Amino acid sequence: MTIAAPRPTLARRLSSTLSTHPRVRLALLITAPVAWMAIVYIVALVLLLVTAFWSVDSFTGQITTEFTWDNIVEVVTGALYQTVTLRTVGVALLVTIVDVVIAVPVAFFMAKVASARWERILIVLVLLPLWASYLVKAYAWRSVLSQEGILQWLLTPFGLETPGYGLTAVVITLAYLWLPYVILPIHAGFSRVPDSMLEASGDLGAKSWATLRLVVLPLVWPSIIAGTIFSFSLSLGDYITVNIVGGANQMLGNLVYTNVGAANNLPLASAIALIPIVIIFGYLALVRRTGALNNL
């Protein structure tokens, strides 16, 4: 019994051409995503950068495409922008610290203590808030934090009261919103540390604290950094939460929003938007110096 050779159909000839021409294959594979990246990421960013060096004609409200440093100078030297930048960075740092402090033990419990079944359940629970709309969650916190809210009711017996609307509320709400993005990479990091590594450390005489400091933290450090990049950069760009629970406070996002909308000054908005980009680049450079990105 013999098996007939397959007939050279068109599809078959195409397949054989592709299998002998790796470059054609590669081109077919990446053309679309590269084009998408170029348009969505690069072009948008370059436009932002370019717009920051233009200005607005104060009579007509039209954009003048002449090169000027005015927006940059104003953003860097203006007291308002300096204050808001400091406030925004402060909020982003606090949010990041709160998230890491909560996420590390939670992620450790999920990856190393809980049974396989509970680990799955906890992952779903961590992801669950992401199914609800950002706005709904922010307004939920507005209700929780209000003077008549559940937090006030819970704290009254202890002689405390709700922080009300303000920067504290912004930090709490943002920390809540970004927590899943911080837990997940750290959880993945802990999962990659084999149990035998922890056992070996204990076996060699290290108590829990020494094991944590000398073995666990160095190994999950890149994952923690990955988590902080999420919480830090997402906080830097946020303007909705601060509107909802921030009281009268403004963050950089609010300034961008007002300048694009009410003030109709896109070039100035672009210049302001460059601030968080520069800060994030600074943060990445700092992180890179610690060597954390080498192990990603």
Q: Which residues bind to another protein, rule: CB under 8 A?
A: 194, 196-197, 199-207, 210, 214-215, 218-219, 295
Of 61 and 205, which has the nearer Cβ to another protein? 205
- Angle (CA) 201-202-203 rounded to 5° is 90
Smallest gap from residue 220 Cβ to another protein (A): 11
Of 70 and 199, which has the nearer Cβ to another protein? 199
CA distance 289 to 46: 27
Residue bearing tokens 């609800």:
132
Helix, strand, coil share (%) of the chain residues, nearest 5 = 75, 0, 20
Smallest gap from residue 244 Cβ to another protein (A): 43
Beta partners for 56?
A: 63
Of 157 and 205, which has the nearer Cβ to another protein? 205
Smallest gap from residue 28 Cβ to another protein (A): 36
Contacts for 271 with CB less than 8 Å, ≥ 6 apart: 52, 71, 72, 74, 75
The backbone torsions φ and ψ at residue 206, rounded to the nearest 5 degrees and listed phi first, read: -80, 135
Smallest gap from residue 169 Cβ to another protein (A): 40
Of 115 and 133, which has the nearer Cβ to another protein? 115
Of 162 and 211, which has the nearer Cβ to another protein? 211
Three-state SS at 228: helix
Contacts for 177 with CB less than 8 Å, ≥ 6 apart: 129, 134, 137, 138, 234, 241
Smallest gap from residue 178 Cβ to another protein (A): 27
Of 173 and 201, which has the nearer Cβ to another protein? 201
Smallest gap from residue 110 Cβ to another protein (A): 21
- Which among 167, 146, 186 has a CA at the least distance from the CA of 95? 167
Answer whether 63's CB lies under 8 Å from 267's CB: yes
